[in-house]
Structure 1
């Protein structure tokens, strides 16, 4: 039997607090290229899409360019691997 993943869905101030915590953890820098990211910029969920969950261990700070490349670029798989490695270094296995 396949166990369904429980997703966390935050709203309002709780989601803003999570966004702030992710930016602070990452030093307001894109974890891929190091570019400064404004604190209010929305964090990236990993995994994105239907599997996303609003958790500290499943979000990272990405600049606009790296965020777009993660979703739409030819290097999206490479960026995904870098994000997963970064989160694994911080939290161990996150899946």
Structure 2
């Protein structure tokens, strides 16, 4: 029997704390190109199925890579790189 995934939606202080944890984990650098990204940005959700505010599904992307992830010709490569990055950390 399939189990429904629990979606986590954070707001306010908890979302800001998660964002900070992700940026600290990724050393304020884009996981694709290595560019510095200000902590004032919001992390990118690299969801598998449903978008959830959890550290295991968030990565830091610069504006260029974030745009490419969604609209570029290399979007699948960027997606795969983000997912491999997360898998290397969390299994």
Aligned to 2:76: 77
Structure 1 residue 56, shift from structure 2 partner: 0.6
Residues in 2 aligned to 1:78 and 1:4: alpha-carbon distance in whole angstroms: 28
| Aligned mates of 1:80, 1:2 — CA distance in 2 | 25
- Give the match for residue 33 of structure 1: 33
Give the alignment's TM-score, normalised by structure 1: 0.91
Deviation at 1:41, TM superposition (A): 0.3
Alignment deviations for residues 19-74 of structure 1 (CA, whole Å, 9 cap, x no partner): 000000000000000000001100000118x7110001110000000001001111
Residue ranges of structure 1 left out of the alignment (5+ in a row): none
Query: Within 5 Å, which residues of 2 pair with 1:49-88?
Result: 51-88=50-87
Q: What TM-score comes out, normalization by structure 2 length? A: 0.95
Q: Structure 1 residue runs of 4+, over 2 Å off? A: none
RMSD of aligned residue pairs (Cα, Å): 1.3
User: In the alignment, does 2:2 pair up with 1:5?
Assistant: no
Question: Displacement of 1:2 after TM fit?
Answer: 3.1
**1:15 CA displacement:** 0.2
Instruction: List gaps (5 residues or longer) in structure 2.
Output: none
Alignment partners' CA distance in 1, 2:74 and 2:2: 31
Q: How many residues align?
A: 91
